[in-house]
Amino acid sequence: MISDSIKELLIIAIGSALVSNVVLSQFYGLCPFLGVSKQLKTASGMGAAVIFVITLASFVSSLVYRFLLQRFHIEYLKTIVFILVIAALVQFVELVLKKKIPVLYKSLGVFLPLITTNCAVLGTALTNVQEEYGVLFSTVNGFATACGFALSICILAGIREKMQYNNIPKAFQGMPIVLVTAGLMAIAFCGFSGLL
């Protein structure tokens, strides 16, 4: 019984992080993926913040859905409620970091408020409801999804840093070569579909 649950959790984690990568397979969160991936340092900061927020948002939204929305039969309000939960969580995290860890708060800068508008956070919370995951499974799915986001944005940032030194044709300079690179990454991540 316990080993079956652990096996299912591992399948969800691998599937969410690699096979159904939130950016490269589902195309959620493309704005920060393309906009914040110019340098590895900023991309890793964004990835760490997204891991924290998506994991926490998955946990809290799962609790709210189970013990509030389902109890009062108002499941149709889930999108609005999840948006409010995510916005409140990001504001709470921002206040705590500003007060307790000002160095980390300054290093994240504008990336923390940007997470509120990252559709990957809302998409993960809605996926957890759609798949009927419990609180534990929702949290694991949120953590794995966020790790997949962080992995993909860091890979793209590393590639973009190296591309600065390449001789790229004028028509492909800037965003076109970034989109081609992201497309090639998506094709490469399709290779993980054989894992499950």
Query: pLDDT (tens digit, 9 = 90+) per residue, 20-61?
Result: 999 999 989 888 898 888 889 888 888 888 898 899 999 999
Say if CB 177 and CB 163 are below 8 A apart.
yes
Instruction: List pLDDT tens digits, range 133-177.
Output: 999 999 999 999 999 999 999 999 999 999 988 888 999 988 999
Q: CA–CA distance from 140 to each of 29, 124, 146, 147, 154 (Å)?
A: 19, 11, 10, 10, 21
Where do the structural domains in the chain lie, given as residue ranges? 7-191
pTM (2 decimals)?
0.90
Neighbour-count burial of 67, counting CB atoms closer than 10 A to its CB (0-12 exposed, 13-18 middle, 19+ buried) = exposed
- Number of Cβ within 10 Å of residue 12's Cβ equals 21
Tokens 């490269």 belong to residue: 24
